[in-house]
Structure 1
């Protein structure tokens, strides 16, 4: 099995990240749409969204995405985005306020093996932020660049007195990223589809799919329940 989280071999200027964050904070933070997933305040601002609007914070696979007008004001964020030589979907600033918690959940089809990878770059954080993936602490520090397999159970707690704000990029796997991940020790031929999900993860996936009923999701649920 490939690593469920890993720090990429690049870091970014904390001063420049926080300077452009100050520009973005003039826009309104939009509360996360899934209120069952968190307690406290979990909000977002979009730099790239399906509609091209700053307050459109939805992230769904296989949609066409557009840069928002806010990204035009952020040359350093643009430089970071362009470092990743692959197609991107949603790009957002995600804020978890003090004394707030994102409950444990799974995001479907969000592992590198699924052809998708989500990058987290902490802009503001503190020592009382606890980010867990697969029940293990991932020590993300400001300016660092991290990948995590969000197909696995994950959660975040901000027990500090300051907000935690990350720049996140939803990226599409390609030959460039395969080369990068191979150098980081990934087996790019590994497929998670060959392995049975644990009962815990399976039930979480079923619960997530059940929130958005569709014919495709019903078939996936039936397949998972049959295993």
Structure 2
């Protein structure tokens, strides 16, 4: 399937997840106070999960995630509902990196691009974003335009374009991000959701 036909930089996908269950499990995994930005890995390169495994050999191209095996972390194994979400995507495609991304109150993620996170890039992964905890003072900007994501929704965004996050609220923002290798299934879902 051609992926260059995708004309928009953001697409809400037809998946919705239980925010209460996601937040409940996320709160259990949190490790106290943090400054600015915190990452809780749920699925990581195998050698980081099981330190008895050797580092993978150097790769010419790390973009598609095939340079290593990926394993569920102990944090994911303690979280049955988050595991069910990851397993849903594993049933349909290859899942690489999965993380909970926490942004502190009154913090900003500066504008940047992720050169390998877009369908238009050959041999890439795409990132699906599922907001868990948000407030009306958090804004995710893609190409200087807000993306109005609600907790529990699932979004594909072309992150090869400039994006930033501003949290002007008094509570943290938490997103679940799932990096997958694009296959015909997810390309079809994205294409059908675009219209």
TM-score interval for Structure 1 and Structure 2 normalised by the shorter chain: 0.7 to 0.9
Establish whether residue 8 from structure 1 lines up as the match of residue 13 from structure 2: yes
Distance 2:149 2:194 in 1: 19
- Select 1:100's aligned residue among 86, 98, 107: 107
State the match for 1:48 in structure 2. Answer: 43
Q: Please give the root-mean-square deviation of Cα atoms over the aligned residues, in Å.
A: 2.0
State the match for 2:169 in structure 1. Answer: 160
TM-score by length of 1: 0.70
Quick check: which has more Rg, 1 or 2? 1
Structure 2 residue ranges without an equivalent (≥5): 1-5, 51-61
Report the Cα offset of residue 28 of structure 1.
Answer: 6.6
Aligned-partner SS, 2:12: strand
State the match for 1:194 in structure 2. Answer: none
TM-score by length of 2: 0.81
State the match for 1:206 in structure 2. Answer: none
Q: CA contact under 8 A between 2:126 and 2:156: conserved in structure 1?
A: yes
Q: CA contact under 8 A between 1:46 and 1:53: conserved in structure 2?
A: no
What is the correspondence of 1:11-90 to structure 2 with a 5 Å cutoff? 11-25=16-30, 27=31, 41-50=36-45, 51-53=47-49, 61=63, 62=65, 63-64=67-68, 65-84=70-89, 85-90=92-97
Q: CA contact under 8 A between 2:11 and 2:155: conserved in structure 1?
A: yes
**Structure with the larger strand share:** 2
Greater than 6 Å deviation, 4+ residue runs? none
Distance 1:6 1:112 in 2: 12
Distance 1:8 1:157 in 2: 23
State the match for 2:183 in structure 1. Answer: 174
Count of residues in Structure 1 that have an aligned counterpart in Structure 2 = 171
Aligned-partner SS, 1:109: coil
**Structure with the larger helix share:** 1
